[in-house]
């Protein structure tokens, strides 16, 4: 009787070991934007943009910083802060400084527009 129980238990353990849980794939991670400056002449769909007319390169030290540093930069010209995947105005103002934020709220791009 004991022999029969151990054979059944061994068979049950063997079958249990063969049944594996389906592999769960981790959710893909969103790419993290790399901080960069856009200060070159580019052709837009409707207008040609002028090179760094807003002097965005003066604020390159803010790249990678949280958006809370923007008020402390002492900017006297128009600015626009664009949240991650946010909507921005479609009118182009070459004097306006545009700060683009990543998903964490850090500045990852500064350009004119």
Residue 88 lies in a domain: yes
Domain extent at residue 102? 36-112
* Total of domains in the chain: 1
Q: What is the pLDDT of residues 77-94, one digit of tens each?
A: 999 999 988 888 888 888
Residue 25 lies in a domain: no
Bigger pLDDT: 56 vs 45? 56
Residue 6 lies in a domain: no
Residue 72 lies in a domain: yes
Question: Whole-model pTM above 0.75?
Answer: no
Residue 24 lies in a domain: no
* CATH number of the domain within which 42 lies: 3.30.10.10
What number of helices (H) and strands (E) belong to the chain? Answer: 1, 4
Residue 104 lies in a domain: yes
Note the maximum CA span of the chain: 92
Q: Cα–chain-centroid distance for residue 79? A: 21
Residue 73 lies in a domain: yes
């Amino acid at each position: 009787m004991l022999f029969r129980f151990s054979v059944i238990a061994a068979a049950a353990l063997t079958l249990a070991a063969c049944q594996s849980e389906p592999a769960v794939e981790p959710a893909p991670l969103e790419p993290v934007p790399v901080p960069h400056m856009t200060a070159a002449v580019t052709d837009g769909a409707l207008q040609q943009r002028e090179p760094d007319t807003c002097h965005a390169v003066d604020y390159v030290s803010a790249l990678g910083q949280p958006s809370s540093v923007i008020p402390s930069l002492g900017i006297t010209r128009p600015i626009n802060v664009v949240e991650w995947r946010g909507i921005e105005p479609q009118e182009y103002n070459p004097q306006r400084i545009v700060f683009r934020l990543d998903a964490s709220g850090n500045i990852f791009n500064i350009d004119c527009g």
